[in-house]
Amino acid sequence: MDAKQAAKVLRDRIDEGKKVLEDQEQFDRWRNKSRITLERIYGPDHAMLKKWDEIRYTLGFWTENTPDSAWRRAREGGIASAIALLEAGVFDHVELATPQDVDPSAFDPDLWGHVAHDVEGEHWDKVPAGVATFVESKVREWAGLGPGDYGKDLMVKVFKPDGGVFPCGDPTV
């Protein structure tokens, strides 16, 4: 999910959160949707999700003399904290987002489909291997070679100057 789309979805959760105080069913639905939204945007181990899970919407202590207004204030405080966290997410994706100076059409859509999940999840250590696997698969496909050809042997069969399927340095190919 790109930064612009993430900010929009977070704003939607903020707008919904401002309307859920009185209705338990809407509140539960909003709270669950918001958690799923944060997990999809940031991943299950991100600090934003951990902070979300720490938000309290009820009193931690009460007695039989606790007025109903205290319960309402606790719910309001929890919702306000949740909205503040969602607003921090919008700030993250609007104010701190890396500008997108690269034209998306400059990337092969099949390659993007192969590595998008790792890029969006910021699993940078997995992206190079994903690209290499994709390129190797495409080279094998274009050269008409089987799955038994891979790695250095595949590249030699395909690009060897004096006998490869697509010899390097041969201007006629």
As a whole number, the mean pLDDT across the chain is: 87
On the question of pLDDT at 150 being above 70, the answer is yes
For residue range 94-128, list pLDDT tens digits in order.
887 665 555 556 677 788 778 878 887 788 899 89
On the question of pLDDT at 87 being above 90, the answer is yes
pTM for this prediction:
0.57
120-158 as b/e, with b when 16 or more CB fall inside 10 Å?
eeeeeeebeebeeebebeebbeebebeeebeeeebbebb
pLDDT of residue 86: 97
On the question of pLDDT at 148 being above 80, the answer is yes
CA 133, chain centre distance (Å): 22
